[in-house]
Chain A
Amino acid sequence: MNRRQRLMQAVSDRTNPIVVKELRQAVQSRLVIAILLLFLLTNVLVVSGFLLLTIDATTNERGGQDLFDGLFVVLVSTCMVFVPLYAAIRLTMERNDSNIDLLFITTIAPAAIIRGKFWAAVALTALIYSASMPYLTITYLLRGIDLPSIFFALGVAFLCTAIVTMLAIFVGSIAGGLLLRILVFGGLLWLGGCMMAYTLMIGLSVVEMGLASIFSRRDGWGAFGISVAFGITAWGLFYLLAVAAISARSSNRMFPVRVFVTACWLIFGVIAGVCTLAYSSEWPVLIWSVASIALLSLILGFTLAERENWTPRVRRYIPRSTPLRFLAWLFYTGSAGGVVWCCALSAATLLGGYQVVGEFTPVVGRSPAKDVFEVMTGVLLFAWCYSMSGLLVRRLIFPKSVPLAGTTLGLALMGVCGTLPLLLSYLIRGPNWRFDSLPVIFAVFNPLVLQRPAADRTEVLVLLSVWGIFGLVVNIPWFLHQWHAFRRHEPKPIPLAPSLVMEPPVIHV
């Protein structure tokens, strides 16, 4: 074996096996070949159409810009639609075939599987980019476009494709029923569409106005920084969620997600605090609080669906000391600990947010920021009250059901309790009835009640707090049971010298 072969062998050995497999399959896939040919044909049509139909193509001041716009739309559409869909569908098919199970008996980790899928999709994107390069070069030969703008637009599109691809991989990794898949797929299309619109807007406007239009201003750098930070956070969250989705049910799969969410919450909170002080405005903290409460309210409901007991594979990593055990209980996979973790972050967000907003609120009168905070408190209380109510109903009526039933029952209760008083009121008062005229005691079950004036809202928050405390008290045994069950498992030692001698069969019953 010569030096080059040895080098190639070393590279091959160090490459993620999933990347090797995915790329081997991609080059043999008729779909990939068809899409690439279609992409090249569309590029040829765009360039030749532009050159043939534009009389002054070479002298036009905007010639390069116009051609780039056309090619950029083709490139972004192909990369942001085909690549994520291809990655998601392939993973979904593997999940359905239950072949992915076989990967778990190898030494490859779920994280490596997701990384492999992602890098294979990145390689496919790079292939599409390289196919597009000859045509994009033509735009530079024409007038009205500069090289940094081209690279910036292409870079933004590449990063956005990477984020949407990770989102698609997460969707593909979910093992669930058809309804869940349709719902999540709908979400993917919506988010992917938003990302595509954002990419096109940024790319086309940069080419139109030049890079200086963004980076010559301080707020331009700020917006760029925030976009990059959100992009990286979204990518990281989808990556960890995808890893959690394909990890074995018995594993501690939510631990990395909770650590990541906590770290992001803390980092963005500090940045928002610094910005609030620097700009003397409560809005950075307000935006951080609203985003945190919205996300945590959503997480609270889904946390209820997590497991309520732990197998030795998780329990062997539980610390022995009580303070560390409590910390582990909050962060390890598990419903009760997860609910407490979620509530701790939410409470800290509200307390910190109220503290900062209080500094900027006039002593007399109200501020819009305070109104927003009250609404967010209400949203969180609604999530808590319905989660605890769903949990109580499950514990009392369906004690043998899976934990997901608690989340489902909570949502069902919200649907029923939110609409039933309104229907009754409609039947009693007739078509002239209005939601605002309904007494708070009846409207309090519907989250839309938070839109009411501030005086009503205070009453609503008090009622929700009473309901929330009731929910907590009746479910305390559930929390305590899980806390007591969360104890370390001491693994048996591995024999030092495994027997290698073949022995006659020893049969015991």
Chain B
Amino acid sequence: MDVKVDNLKRHFGGTKAVDGISFTFSSGHIFGFVGPNGAGKTTTMRILATLDEPTDGDATVDGVSVVDYPEKARHLVGFMPDTLPTHRDMTVHEYLDFFARAYGLRGLKRDSLVERVEEFTSLSRIRGKFLKDLSKGMKQRVSLARALVHDPPVLVLDEPAAGLDPRARIELRELLKVLAEQGKAILVSSHILTELSEICNGAVIIEQGRLLRAGGMDHIVSSDSLDRTVVIRCDGPAEELHRELIQTPLVREARMIGAAVEADVTGGDDVCGELLRYLIFKQLRIVEFHQRRVDLEDVFMTVTKGQVQ
């Protein structure tokens, strides 16, 4: 099952909240949705969840347009907003049972689905507790359970890890991994990029409503426009290696880190290879030469400018 976002636009008067973004993701994969505040993430997610309509463009879930057939698309999408459940005088079980009813689930099927979701999100023990008495982490779990209650093949999660303690974050991460293994397509927005890097198969980076990067994680971090950082260690004094490195035009900057030197190379893989050949030519006995792994955070900092509309 594919989720396709095709030239999506959403304008509010003169403000272009989303300005022609396109990307695709599929079943069994977790896609990170990244951007500064006000970039248009929530607007895009609300359109995918059929809560808002685009000014132009479309998004399809398994071929079903969220613009033309919102009623059908709703069965396919589970949406977790960035607001937490605040219903008073309502227990966890009553809350989930209510949403199951609202999705039209009937009889024993409803009971079993609610129980399964409670079990999956570890809410069984606290199903009788009132929502207002729950911690933030537990409320996030309830919110995720609500999004899962009708067993949708696509999950759209807006800042699910916001404000969670480390343990709750790890637990949420594991839940998402299990859901992806079950074959769900997951789009998750978060500002905690290191965590996204660990669980996501791909990412979409937007700023000011415009798409900056989109694709699989390998594709994003190995993009040609990004410079490399290599860690080099030689059998000899690091000072000599450092001196050689700062003299070559292939290196923009070099830093000594213990016995090794970290160098920012002015190019991609080809320049790294050239640099290694140069160092061997200079008869330095290289014992370690590896690229420092570029993560989502590096990519994000490189491609975004921190501008808001």
Return the CB mask of B47-81 against A: 1 if under 8 Å, else 0: 00111110000100011110111111011010101
Q: At the interface, yes or no: B240 with Cβ under 8 Å from chain A?
A: no
Q: At the interface, yes or no: A13 with Cβ under 8 Å from chain B?
A: yes
Instruction: List, in ascending order, chain A residues with CB within 8 A of B90's CB.
Output: 21, 24-25, 28
Tell which of A316, A402, A504, A508 has the most Cβ of chain B within 10 Å: A508
Binds B, one of A75-83, A371-379, A488-496: A488-496
Instruction: List, in ascending order, chain B residues with CB within 8 A of A494's CB.
Output: 63-65, 69, 72
Complex: how many Å from CA A281 to CA B28? 76
Complex: how many Å from CA A499 to CA B16? 34
Return the contact of B102 from the options A94, A107, A311 (Cβ within 8 A).
A107
Binds A, one of B209-217, B227-235, B279-287: B209-217
Q: At the interface, yes or no: B290 with Cβ under 8 Å from chain A?
A: no
Binds A, one of B93-101, B243-251, B258-266: B93-101
In the complex, residue of chain B having the shortest beta-carbon distance to the beta carbon of A503: B26
Complex: how many Å from CA A104 to CA B46? 11
Return the contact of A505 from the options B75, B77, B202 (Cβ within 8 A).
B202
Given contacts A21-B90, A499-B62, A505-B201, contact A105 B50 (CB under 8 A): yes
Instruction: List, in ascending order, chain A residues with CB within 8 A of B65's CB.
Output: 491-492, 494
Instruction: List, in ascending order, chain B residues with CB within 8 A of A248's CB.
Output: 51, 53
Q: At the interface, yes or no: B273 with Cβ under 8 Å from chain A?
A: no
* Cβ B63 vs Cβ A25 within 8 A: no
Return the CB mask of B1-38 against A: 1 if under 8 Å, else 0: 11000000000011000000011111111000000000
Number of interface residues of B (CB under 8 A): 62
Instruction: List, in ascending order, chain A residues with CB within 8 A of B211's CB.
Output: 509
- Count of chain A to chain B residue pairs whose CB atoms are closer than 8 Å in the complex: 139
Given contacts A105-B51, A498-B1, A507-B219, contact A99 B26 (CB under 8 A): no
Q: At the interface, yes or no: B163 with Cβ under 8 Å from chain A?
A: no
In the complex, residue of chain B having the shortest beta-carbon distance to the beta carbon of A401: B13
In the complex, residue of chain B having the shortest beta-carbon distance to the beta carbon of A90: B88
In the complex, residue of chain B having the shortest beta-carbon distance to the beta carbon of A500: B1
Q: At the interface, yes or no: B133 with Cβ under 8 Å from chain A?
A: no
Instruction: List, in ascending order, chain A residues with CB within 8 A of B183's CB.
Output: 502
Instruction: List, in ascending order, chain A residues with CB within 8 A of B108's CB.
Output: 9
Q: At the interface, yes or no: B237 with Cβ under 8 Å from chain A?
A: no
Complex: how many Å from CA A469 to CA B206? 50
User: What's the nearest-Cβ distance from chain B to residue A39, in Å?
Assistant: 19
* Cβ A505 vs Cβ B88 within 8 A: no
* Cβ A509 vs Cβ B23 within 8 A: yes
User: What's the nearest-Cβ distance from chain B to residue A41, in Å?
Assistant: 23
Return the contact of B89 from the options A25, A101, A495 (Cβ within 8 A).
A25
User: What's the nearest-Cβ distance from chain A to residue B240, in Å?
Assistant: 44
Instruction: List, in ascending order, chain A residues with CB within 8 A of B26's CB.
Output: 502-506
Return the CB mask of A87-108 against B: 1 if under 8 Å, else 0: 0000000100111011111111
* Cβ B28 vs Cβ A502 within 8 A: yes
Q: At the interface, yes or no: B242 with Cβ under 8 Å from chain A?
A: no
Q: At the interface, yes or no: B104 with Cβ under 8 Å from chain A?
A: yes
* Cβ A506 vs Cβ B2 within 8 A: yes
In the complex, residue of chain A having the shortest beta-carbon distance to the beta carbon of B104: A107
Tell which of B28, B99, B201 has the most Cβ of chain A within 10 Å: B99
* Cβ B2 vs Cβ A499 within 8 A: yes
* Cβ B107 vs Cβ A9 within 8 A: yes
* Cβ A107 vs Cβ B25 within 8 A: no
Given contacts A498-B63, A499-B1, A502-B27, contact A107 B71 (CB under 8 A): yes
Q: A102-B99, A505-B201 are in contact. List 16 more A-B contacts (CB 8 A).
A: A9-B107, A24-B94, A28-B89, A98-B83, A104-B50, A106-B74, A107-B104, A108-B102, A312-B53, A313-B53, A489-B68, A491-B68, A495-B62, A505-B216, A507-B216, A508-B24
Interface residues of A (CB under 8 A from B): 9, 13, 17, 20-21, 24-26, 28-29, 94, 97-99, 101-108, 248, 250, 311-313, 316, 400, 402, 489, 491-492, 494-495, 498-500, 502-509
What 8 pairs across the A-B complex have the smallest Cβ distances?
Answer: A17-B101, A491-B68, A495-B63, A106-B102, A28-B89, A25-B89, A311-B53, A250-B53
User: Can you pick out 24 interface pairs between chain A and chain B where the beta carbons lie within 8 Å of each other?
Assistant: A13-B107, A20-B98, A24-B89, A25-B88, A25-B90, A28-B89, A97-B86, A98-B81, A99-B83, A102-B79, A104-B51, A105-B79, A106-B102, A107-B104, A311-B67, A492-B65, A494-B69, A494-B72, A499-B62, A503-B27, A505-B202, A507-B23, A507-B216, A509-B22
Interface residues of B (CB under 8 A from A): 1-2, 13-14, 22-29, 49-53, 58, 62-65, 67-72, 74-75, 77, 79, 81, 83, 85-90, 94, 98-99, 101-104, 106-108, 110, 146, 150, 183, 201-202, 211, 213-216, 219
